[in-house]
Amino acid sequence: MELNETDRRLIGALRRGLPLVEHPYAALGAELGLDEGAVIARLQRFMERGLISRFGVVVDHAALGFDGNAMVVWDIPDADVEGVGRMFAGLSWVSLCYRRPRRLPHWRYNLFTMIHARQRAFVEDRVGVMTVLADSVVQASAILHTTRRFKQTAACYGTAPAAAGEA
Amino acid sequence: MDALDQRLLDEFQRDFGLTPRPYADIGARLGLDEAEVIDRLRRLTGAGAIRRIGPVFRPNRVGASTLAALAVPPDRLEEIAAVVGGYAEVNHNYAREHHLNLWFVVTAPDAGRVGEVLEEIARSTGLTPLDLPLERDFHVDLGFRLWN
């Protein structure tokens, strides 16, 4: 979907989150020169076109005690990675699952999973289960436990909205 | 945090109302009035439990993004993390246990800008980022249930 400048500004304004006021879409629109109905209609269009995977409360998992999270990476033969990826994606403890390129010789892994857990041991346990489930096709895997979060913000897909009074 | 706070965090991660008064709609489901929903959400945001309320965009539909990694000498981790995190386009920046110990996500309205950010980071740090763009997402959604 082609996004116009107003769409980009709306996306940029939402990076800070929906305002906590009675009419949040009207408040957003006031910054952008749109009325409430126009903001809602644009967001509905984004949803219908599949640009947005979800709209709602974005929690801080670490603040809620999910601090045993890890990126677990897998080296799966290219012929099998689609099937394994779909299977891993269906596991309740896998919060993200995607394929990325190998970068040999520095990086051999082509399948990435994120596991959010309250304890580190849980991650190791589940990786063991996944290794069994993927049976013979796992050539290697690695658990990259998160040790520090330096930054975590919303994605930067939009343009910064003009300050009040600017064009 | 009481049971209503937990429900606010757990049940409204998706299907949040695209209606004129979404907080009143939430209140109707939880038996709270609109002002109390807003107060609770404000308090949970202040406490760090909520990062924001809003959209999570699907990767590669709205703009461009990549996951990148650097092998940073341990004594330079703070310094390099600050350089990387200084970019508005960098939205995640984590230290992880691996030889490649700094992992970050670059998002921008277009692929050209993503490439520029990686090049600038390489120039200013003297370290070459491993560029691992998404090829296929099987499941990209952090809106999972927090409590059973």
Instruction: Write down the ipTM of this complex.
Output: 0.82
Q: Which residue in chain B is spatially nearest to A144 when comparing CA positions?
A: B97
CA distance A68 to chain B (A): 12
Residue A165 has pLDDT above 80, yes or no: no
User: Which positions 100-129 of A are in contact with B (Cβ < 8 Å)?
Assistant: 100-101, 103, 106-107, 112, 114, 116
Contact A157 B63 (CB under 8 A): yes
* Residue among B55, B18, B107 nearest A54 (CA): B55
Q: In the block, which residue shows the tokens 């209606």?
A: B19
pLDDT, tens digit, for every residue of B53-89? 999 888 778 889 999 999 999 999 999 999 999 999 9
Q: In the block, which residue shows the tokens 């304890």?
A: A119
Which of B139, B140, B144, B146 to mutate to probe the A interface, most A CBs <10 Å? B139
A45 touches chain B (CB under 8 A): no
> Which pLDDT score is estimated for A3?
84
pLDDT, tens digit, for every residue of B26-61? 999 999 999 999 999 999 999 999 999 999 888 778
pLDDT, tens digit, for every residue of A99-129? 999 999 999 999 999 998 888 899 999 999 9
CA distance B13 to chain A (A): 4
Q: Which of B100, B140, B146 sits opposite A64 (nearest CB)?
A: B146
Residue A166 has pLDDT above 70, yes or no: no
Supply the pTM of this predicted model.
Answer: 0.82
Decide: A156 and B62 in contact? Cβ < 8 Å: no
pLDDT, tens digit, for every residue of A6-35? 999 999 899 889 999 999 999 999 999 999
